[in-house]
Amino acid sequence: MNGSMKALFKRDMLLAFRSRGDLLNPLMFFLMVASLFPLAVSPDPLFLGQIAPGVIWVGALLATLLSLDLLFKSDFEDGSLEQMLLMPQPTLLMVIVKVLVHWLVAGLPLAFIAPLLGLMLGLPSGGFAPLMATLLLATPILSLLGAIGAGLTVGLRKGGMLMPLLILPLYIPVLIFASSAVQAGVLGNSYVGHMAFLGAYLALTLVVAPVATASALRISIAR
């Protein structure tokens, strides 16, 4: 990777850590969503253990959606996004760096806080390893696919309302395979196949999503 991309990476990381509130909001949201279920449905640990894989994964999807709004917004508002699109380096690289930063500050923390939620929801002990593993492997997919939606809606006033509508259907394969991997772990079954599917899906989105995001950004900026 060349120097300007390194500089962009450092700048974005610095900006992310300077506004810690934006970093913590999705995490707090993740915690809150998960604690709604015992209140709404039942505090019975056996029952909670059954729904925990699904609840944690749905919470992770929603928390990611919440954080995606920030992916391009501040750069769009102060005009630096336009400058980046005019850079001689390909837009693709810029998108990849931005998604990487988003995953590091928004996706990765979800994987580390998830065991806590697992404890709160009474996830059986076999589920913890696959929970961490699927979150580590699949949150990059969420960031990559979400970047497309963020790119398409960046210039819109009500973009934050629109984005979930565009992105959530694309998240469904991740949700299905990740939560059933955790369920397989709970039952003591192998979840290698699930991980293989998620890995393949990650490879596909790595190829497709940055291209789509780059063209989405060019469309959103060209007004």
Q: How far is the CB of 14 from another protein (least distance, A)?
A: 31
- Burial class (CB within 10 angstroms; exposed 0-12, middle 13-18, buried 19+) of 83: exposed
User: Does residue 136 contact residue 111 with C-beta atoms inside 8 Å?
Assistant: yes
Q: Should residue 162 be labelled a site residue for another protein when binding is judged by CB under 8 A?
A: yes
Residue type, 133: A
- Burial class (CB within 10 angstroms; exposed 0-12, middle 13-18, buried 19+) of 129: middle
Q: Residue 102 is encoded by which pair of tokens? A: 């988003």
Q: How far is the CB of 169 from another protein (least distance, A)?
A: 4
Specify the residue, 1 or 156, whose C-beta has the smaller distance to another protein.
Answer: 156
Pick from 60, 66, 142, 152: which binds another protein (CB under 8 A)? 152
Residues 6+ apart with CB under 8 A from 48: 37, 38, 41, 42, 121, 122
Q: Should residue 138 be labelled a site residue for another protein when binding is judged by CB under 8 A?
A: no
Q: Contacts with another protein in 170-209 (CB under 8 A)?
A: 170, 172-173, 176-177, 180, 197, 201, 204, 208-209
Pick from 39, 46, 86, 222: which binds another protein (CB under 8 A)? 222
Question: 3-state DSSP call for residue 174?
Answer: helix
Q: How far is the CB of 50 from another protein (least distance, A)?
A: 13
Residues that bind another protein (CB under 8 A): 145, 148, 152-153, 156, 158-159, 162, 165-166, 168-170, 172-173, 176-177, 180, 197, 201, 204, 208-209, 212, 215-216, 219-220, 222-223
